[in-house]
Chain A
Amino acid sequence: MLAQSATPANIAEREAVIDIAAADSCLEIQALSLAYAGTPALKELTLRVPRRRVTAFIGPSGCGKSTLLRALNRLHDLNETVSRRGEIRLEGQEIHAPEVAVAELRRRVGMVFQTPNPFPMSIYENVAFGLRLQGDMRKRQRDEVVEWALRSAALWDEVKARLGDSAWSLSGGQQQRLVIARTLAVKPEVLLLDEPASALDPISTLKIEELIRSLKSQLTLVLVTHNMQQAARVSDYTAFLHDGELVEYAPTDALFTNPRLARTENYITGRMA
């Protein structure tokens, strides 16, 4: 395996990264490097995420896929030990530019985490949380947005009779869909999903995957997963990361059926730890 990847690797890897036209891309990552307290986590990463498609980041644990995802809505800002070089552009706008308000960026780029994290309040208030942050809104209008978000997250029918109940009374899968609804309620342009189904049972996972597929007509989705079947099932494009580097980035069908690089093939066929 090492012998194979040692062949004119650099040239081959460049070719392994497809180029998406700038006009079709929603997010553009340019030479992004990131380090935790001096330890590099991402190395000179460059890729474009296509608009209204599902893009999956796959790779072994510690490859930097979650780090990359969190960089996309500046969650690393909270951690003082993180240093960054390079650019991330959302619809052409550099997200680290001083005129970009981080709260507004995070509204435009929503994020769903691995563990369902509903807030300690009612189901309704969870969905309305982001709306209330944005300021006053008439109750009827807010009700409508909450219903729309819950319907979009395929949760409305299950919770419409108990909107006042604590969000913590829901099952794990319902909680995760509630979190998605909560994110959708503020009408984001991009939805980042960090292993959204890894803590869920197979049926809940299926529902989340259906939801992801149905949402791509409205917004751009970026999915981090260590489940390759999941990536193959729901994503349009897949990027394989290893050791903080982008190894291969291709339409999902092409990457899974006909990987260009041996490292990718080894990983997707399970020969790499």
Chain B
Amino acid sequence: MRLSRGEGPWPWLAAGSVALSLLLLAALLTLLAGRGLAHFWPAEVVQVELDDGSRFAARPGREERSAEGVERLYHTGNREWLGTPWRWVEVARIVEQQRPAELVVIERRRWGDFIGRVAGLEEDGEALVLEDDAAQWAALNARLARLEALRAARDALRQDEVMPRVRELGAARDAASRARLEGELATANAEILALQAQMARDRVLLESVDGERLALPLEDILAIQRPNDMRLPAKLGAWGTGVWRFLSEGPRAANTAGGVWPAIFGTVLLVLLMSALVAPFGVLAAIYLNEIAHQGRLTRLVRISVRNLAGVPSIVYGVFGLGVFVYGIGGSLDEWFFSDQLPSPTFGTGGLLWASLTLALLTLPVVIVATEEGLARIPDHQREGALALGATRLETLRRVVVPMALPAMLTGMILAVARAAGEVAPLMLVGVAKLAPQVPLDAEFPFLHLERKFMHLGYHIFDVGFHSGDVEAALPLVYATALLLVLVILLLNLTAILLRHHLKARHGALPR
């Protein structure tokens, strides 16, 4: 339809509303992507000299205007000496700024980032003699690569030698096999200890620009870079590595650093479980309401109630889940099947199963309403066509009505996924955890651990944003996680949309 003249301001008003909505959406995504993704960029480090002669090296951040003038926030790292990795500096006090190429930024296992210089290398406590800075940097990287190889060997040993034997030991009953397994375990553990001793061999001597010195075992280095010495391809590579580590690693330092992999996994698994639970219930309920039930006052009442259930605040479902699923059913399950573990609860506490059940309940009305609409849209003559061939009502349902309503059912699932994936409030009552590095799916029987607590992107945003000790460090992570949550929901919905498209394409549009 064209926008026609002479109809007054209404068409323009309507088009303007659309444009505004799109603009807001674009602004939202731009904000999330800009703030979130910029965090992983290896920004250059500046060495700053102030008017009192003191020096520090840091990554400059945002500026704020105050009564004394413009202040700039610097990320200085080196928390062990400075107390905080952030520093506000009046721009007017800055005397000199340099960008020396040899400044390093080290992401450490403890104490956050270090920013400064590499002063030397130690092997078994003895300093190595290296002619110049380039040789030192090369040697450091070579030793880091060696460490990585050792770490991989150790992890493989743990995974392939130690873990299976520990499991066998748990199941072994006779003394002979226990003794054999214990012997093998001792050998494997000795190998691991030897590897770890080798890993602890090297240390790097670090010096901050104001002269503080520190010896750091190479083991404690998570990432090291010289951002002032990097060209664009190297920076892009570092950015990609940063994003990948954010996606694939677990969180560290009380969620203010590290990645969000367990949260991604938890979110997706939760949504999939929820879908698997809600689909059969919702579809069967809709079929009963639309196809089987007598269309009287009672059915109408049930239908209205279902529609209204969709409007109940989600926290109410959370309370219901806590009371009925966790304390009620979970408590009983613990008494019957896991009484040997009491008083520590197995199912009597929040977990993946209860969270997905709660979300399934929350999204049930959406699925029922969408499926019912799809069923109601199927013309009666389609049903009569099957009945007129001698099909029973069940055969008609199974072979004609349900296949035709499948796209509508998938629409219901899409709406359900969209609603469930973003819910946080009910999850806080029924099983989401601040930190659950073990994902609920692993190689250990029964593989899917429904009783485990799990992490969730939505809750992670809340936790990082409001409960972290380091707000400045948390903020970019909040943006990045929010962007990720949007993308995950988009991906889940896209899957369902493609599936629906596939189904529709198979039989063309519904004939009218």
Interface residues of A (CB under 8 A from B): 73, 75, 78, 80, 103-104, 106-107, 110-111, 113-121, 129-130, 133-134, 166-169, 175, 179, 182-183, 186
B508 touches A107 (CB 8 A): no
* Interface 1/0 per residue, B274-308 and A, CB below 8 Å: 00000000000000000000100000000000000
Ranked nearest first, the 9 interchain pairs of A and B with the lowest CB-CB distance are A111-B388, A107-B390, A117-B385, A168-B508, A103-B390, A130-B389, A166-B507, A113-B381, A106-B390
Interface residues of B (CB under 8 A from A): 294, 379, 381-382, 384-392, 395, 399-400, 403-404, 506-509, 511-512
A118 touches B395 (CB 8 A): no
A113 to B390, CA, bound (A): 15
> Can you list 6 A-B pairs with a CB-CB distance of less than 8 A?
A106-B387, A107-B390, A113-B385, A117-B381, A133-B395, A183-B388
Chain A: CB-nearest residue to B509: A168
Given contacts A166-B508, A168-B508, contact A114 B381 (CB under 8 A): yes
A116 to B379, CA, bound (A): 11
Interface class of chain B by DSSP: helix
Q: Which residues of A contact B507 (CB under 8 A)?
A: 120-121, 166-168
Q: Which residues of A contact B384 (CB under 8 A)?
A: 75, 111, 113, 117
A166 touches B506 (CB 8 A): yes
Given contacts A166-B506, A169-B508, A175-B511, contact A130 B390 (CB under 8 A): yes
B390 touches A186 (CB 8 A): yes
Given contacts A166-B506, A168-B509, A169-B508, contact A119 B390 (CB under 8 A): no
A97 to B507, CA, bound (A): 40
Q: Which of B385, B508, B512 contacts A119 (CB 8 A)?
A: B385
Known: A116-B511, A129-B399. 19 other contacts (CB 8 A): A106-B387, A106-B388, A110-B388, A113-B381, A113-B388, A115-B381, A115-B512, A117-B382, A117-B511, A118-B385, A119-B382, A119-B400, A129-B391, A130-B389, A134-B390, A175-B511, A182-B389, A183-B388, A186-B390
Smallest CB separation, A140 vs chain B (Å): 22
Smallest CB separation, A68 vs chain B (Å): 15
With a 10 A CB-CB cut-off, give which of A133, A175, A179 has the most chain B CB atoms: A133
Smallest CB separation, B375 vs chain A (Å): 13
Q: Which residues of B contact A75 (CB under 8 A)?
A: 384, 387-388
Smallest CB separation, A87 vs chain B (Å): 21
A103 touches B511 (CB 8 A): no
Q: Which residues of A contact B385 (CB under 8 A)?
A: 113, 117-119, 179
